[in-house]
């Protein structure tokens, strides 16, 4: 009888993100994503503004004007990365 394929992490309910910095989240000791409550407010603002109609550039410019840093701690944000 053949061996079944081993489960991949996704099938085990584990999410893999190929970034060390993921705005709105942090990772716990086991590498699981955990919501960053302070950044979650900004993420909600971005989605709300997007649904209201401004372009990504306008939203990005507003974040820069408000002094919101990127997940990497940078002051500038390329609007294409929203």
| pTM listed for this prediction | 0.71
Query: Is residue 18, in this structure, part of any structural domain at all?
Result: yes
pLDDT of residue 51: 97
β partners of residue 37: none
Domain region containing 23 = 9-81
The pLDDT of residue 1: 53
The secondary structure element, H or E, covering residue 74 is none
Residue 31 resides in a domain: yes
The reply to whether 4 falls in a domain is no
pLDDT tens for each residue of 9-68: 767 777 676 677 788 988 888 878 889 999 999 999 999 999 999 999 899 899 999 999
Domain contains 1: no
Residue 3 in domain: no
What is the domain-level CATH number for residue 43?
3.90.1750.20
Domains: count for the chain = 1
Tell me, yes or no, whether 44 lies in a domain. Answer: yes
Q: Do 25 and 7 touch, CB atoms closer than 8 A?
A: no
């Amino acid at each position: 009888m053949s061996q079944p394929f081993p489960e991949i992490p996704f099938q085990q309910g584990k999410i893999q993100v190929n970034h060390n910095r993921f705005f709105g989240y942090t990772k716990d000791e086991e590498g699981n994503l955990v919501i960053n409550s302070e950044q979650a407010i900004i993420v909600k603002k971005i989605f709300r503004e997007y649904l209201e109609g401004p372009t990504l550039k306008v939203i990005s410019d507003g974040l820069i004007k408000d002094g919101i840093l990127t997940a990497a701690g940078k002051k500038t944000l390329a609007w294409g990365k929203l």
